Amino acid sequence: VKNNSRPYNQVTPIPVAVDCIIFGFNENNLELLLIHRGFEPKIGQWSLMGGFVEKNEQLDAAATRVLKELTGLEEIYMEQLRAFGAVNRDSADRVISVAYFALIRKESYNKEQVQAHNAKWHSLDALPEMVFDHKDMVSYAKSTLKNKIQSQPLGFNLLPAKFTLVQLQALYEVILEEKLDKRNFRKKILFHDILEKLNEKDKQHSKKGAYLFKFREDRFKERLNRGLAFSLK
């Protein structure tokens, strides 16, 4: 039996980072939270929020820590995208980075912390130049989000707890990059029976006012258990 395995003590360890693609939604735009780097390398340029993985830290925990460090938020919807491992992706050293995408409510984050990191929201269709391969990460995240949102009820993570169907539709429209028919959209969404219509209207955007809804995760999970899938198709 051949033995091609390199003994562990001959392995060259590599710095591993996590980078967070943080999505937010603002009226009619998808936005990303980017930091203006106050440190080398690439000081003064825009980048995703990131950080190195500690020796005794789970990968997911590192991503959670980094997100919390910037926004103060915990228990946020966040998922790994994939690892990015080009040799020269980071100009300072060989670093492998694992990208995560997070969906947050723009209302809820800690403004001081964001301020302290010199971070700003940028509309997805007017992103500044970003360091390293962060642009690739973002476009990968964008298409992942676009795919996932059609078979998982993720949109609610980007909206306030109470939202109108008008807002929800606008959100789906920017993520899917297409106009949707109002009647058909409402039919599809309401069909799944995972929204609760409140006796309350949002009057900020019209005189008539639009009914507020809230996402009933309990109902969604119950449906899952019964084998009922969510689908926007």
Partner DNA sequence: TCAAAAGTGTTGCTGCTACACCCATGC
Partner DNA sequence: GCATGGGTGTAGCAGCAACACTTTTGA
List residues binding a copy of itself (CB under 8 A): 1-6, 8, 11-16, 37-39, 51-60, 62, 69, 80-87, 92-94, 96, 98, 116-118
- Please compute, for residue 14, the number of CA atoms within 13 A of its CA located in the half-sphere on the CB side: 14
Q: Which of 29, 39, 34 is nearest to 19 (CA)?
A: 34
| Residue 71 binding DNA, by CB under 7 A | no
CB nearer DNA, residue 4 or residue 184: 184
Among 147, 206, 221, 222, binds DNA (CB under 7 A): 206
54 phi and psi angles, rounded to 5 deg: -80, 160
Q: Which does 69 bind (CB under 5 to 8 A by kind): a copy of itself, DNA, none?
A: a copy of itself
CB nearer DNA, residue 81 or residue 176: 176
Q: First CA to last CA across the chain, in angstroms?
A: 53
Q: Which does 8 bind (CB under 5 to 8 A by kind): a copy of itself, DNA, none?
A: a copy of itself
Q: Which residues contact 96 (CB under 8 A, 6 or more apart)?
A: 14, 15, 16, 17, 83, 84, 85
Q: Which of 98, 55, 79 is nearest to 145 (CA)?
A: 79
Q: Element (H or E) spanning 192, and its range?
A: none
CB nearer a copy of itself, residue 60 or residue 202: 60
Q: Residue 184 CB, nearest distance to DNA (Å)?
A: 4
CB nearer a copy of itself, residue 59 or residue 166: 59
Q: Which of 66, 23, 49, 33 is nearest to 156 (CA)?
A: 23
Q: Which does 83 bind (CB under 5 to 8 A by kind): DNA, a copy of itself, none?
A: a copy of itself
Q: Residue 228 CB, nearest distance to DNA (Å)?
A: 12
Q: Which residues contact 6 (CB under 8 A, 6 or more apart)?
A: none
Note the residues at the interface with DNA (CB under 7 A).
164-166, 181-184, 186-188, 201, 203, 205-211, 233
